[in-house]
Amino acid sequence: MTDLVTFGETMLRLSPPQGERLETTDELDLRIGGAESNVAAAVSRLGFESAWFSKLPDSPLGRRVTVELQSHGVETPVAWTDDARMGTYYIEHGGAPRATNVIYDRADAAITTVSADELPLDRVRDAEMFYTSGITPALSEAAAEATSTLLEAANDAGATTVFDLNYRSKLWNHEEAAAGYRALFDAVDVLVAAERDTREVLGREGSPEDLVRGLVDEYDFETVILTRGEEGALALRDGETYEQPVYEAETVDAVGTGDAFVGGFLAARLDGEGVATGLEYAAATAALKRTIDGDIAVVTREEVEAVVGEDDAGISR
């Protein structure tokens, strides 16, 4: 039995060295990134069995993804195809007042043709937890249908289902996204939602507490976690709210912070921990991620627990 199955797109991630620009660089760092594989990798590194479902081109570029995910212990029972390309994104790290610049080149990626039939559905039914994000149904109709099929299969089988809104304005607009999300909410137990997406896409108003209570009232989620950037996070479960501040971090690379947060939370939950501890693990994993280059939280459970326990970040000899 797998602890966690995730489903989504993972792209190649290409970035110039710090201080250099895409226009003029002669060198790119190659990593991989995708919300669902980032979460699977974090959960695997924190001690659980995770698997990532997707569809990839049968080429060195597709294998680049499975090679890196396997290195973190993630199983990769993906569908392979000869007929589609590899999604790619370019990231040029900024620094005030220059914005970090992300260029997506993901149209017609292999996953846009995915069908639930191509994936080992049984493994979803056997999993303790299933996770996907709002990026996946936005990729194509086929991807939306597969998302729905997998989410419902997991839910029907009794797995805890987790969904992160992860609104991407370059994939769909507010109305499309809201409709897409709502079509899935019935099958979702745990919702992770950025405050801005909650307001702008789902159209909710009021205080952060209003937001989480409203979401639970309307959609009957078991748990809602509202992520609020520098303000930390606010969760609601069984009528009780939990606040979690962020741990301060010397940021090397902010991309993937949100996925590390989810990964930390899910790992704690798989361990049987409650919401409060889950949020601490989430925030600690997220802070550690910020100190590491790449999308993936290359951390250990000991490191996460050292942050939770508020140890000093000095040198230990």
Q: Which residues are marked as active site?
A: 259
Residue closer to its own copies (CB basis): 103 or 179: 103
Separation between Cα atoms, residue 67 and residue 35, nearest integer Å? 17
Find the shortest distance in angstroms from Cβ 46 to its own copies.
13
Question: Rounded to an integer, what distance in angstroms lies between the CA atom of residue 135 and that of residue 46?
Answer: 24
Q: Interface with its own copies includes 18 (CB under 8 A)?
A: yes
Fill in the per-residue mask, 169 to 208: x = in contact with its own copies (CB under 8 A), - = not in contact.
Answer: xx--------------------------------------
For position 291 contacting its own copies by CB under 8 A, the verdict is yes
Least CB distance from residue 28 to its own copies, whole Å?
5
Q: Using CB under 8 A, which of the segments 82-90, 124-132, 143-151, 154-162 binds its own copies? A: 82-90
- d(CA 265, CA 147) in angstroms, rounded, equals 22
Q: Residues 133 to 162: which contact its own copies by CB under 8 A?
A: none
Among 105, 231, 273, 305, binds its own copies (CB under 8 A): 105
Q: Report residue 192 as tokens.
A: 């992770």
- The owner of tokens 């250990």 is 300
* 30 lines the binding site for its own copies (CB under 8 A): yes
Task: Select from 173, 222, 165, 163 the least CA-distant residue to 196.
Answer: 165
x/- binding map, residues 270-289, to its own copies, per CB under 8 A? --------------x--xx-
- Which residues fall within 8 angstroms of residue 226, CB to CB, at 6 or more apart? 193, 194, 195, 198, 208, 211, 212, 233, 234, 235
Q: How many residues does the chain have?
A: 317
CA torsion angle 37 42 44 47 (round to 10): -170
Instruction: Identify any residues that bridge with 79 across adjacent strands, giving them in sequence order.
Output: 55
Task: Count the site residues for its own copies by CB under 8 A.
Answer: 73
Q: Select the span of 28-36, 146-154, 204-212, 232-240 touching its own copies (CB under 8 A).
A: 28-36
Q: What is the C-alpha separation between 275 and 179, in angstroms, rounded?
A: 28
Pick the piece of the chain touching its own copies (CB under 8 A) from 144-152, 200-208, 267-275, 307-315. 307-315
Going by C-beta distance under 8 Å and a sequence separation of 6 or more, which residues neighbour residue 123? 2, 5, 51, 77
Q: What angle do CA 128, 303, 256 make, to 5 degrees?
A: 65
18 or 115: CB nearest its own copies: 18
Measuring CA to CA, how many Å separate 87 from each of 20, 57, 163? 23, 10, 22
Which one of the spans 46-54, 136-144, 189-197, 250-258 is the region binding its own copies (CB under 8 A)? 250-258
Binding mask 38-77 for its own copies (x = CB under 8 A): ---------------------xxx-xx--xx-xxxx----
Of the candidates 271, 204, 205, 280, the one whose C-alpha atom is nearest the C-alpha of residue 242 is 280
CB-nearer residue toward its own copies: 220 or 251 = 251
Binding-site member from 11, 40, 78, 86 for its own copies (CB under 8 A): 86
Is there binding between residue 309 and its own copies (CB under 8 A)? Answer: no
Please say which residue, 56 or 216, places its beta carbon nearer to its own copies. Answer: 56
Token pair in block for residue 298: 């290359």
Q: Which of 123, 125, 168, 213 lies at the binding interface for its own copies (CB under 8 A)?
A: 168
Phi, psi of 244 (to 5 degrees): -140, 115
**Among 12-20, 148-156, 187-195, 262-270, the segment contacting its own copies (CB under 8 A):** 12-20
Contact 54, 87 (CB under 8 A): no
Residue 220's nearest CA partner among 194, 182, 258 is: 182
Q: How far is the CB of 91 from its own copies (least distance, A)?
A: 8
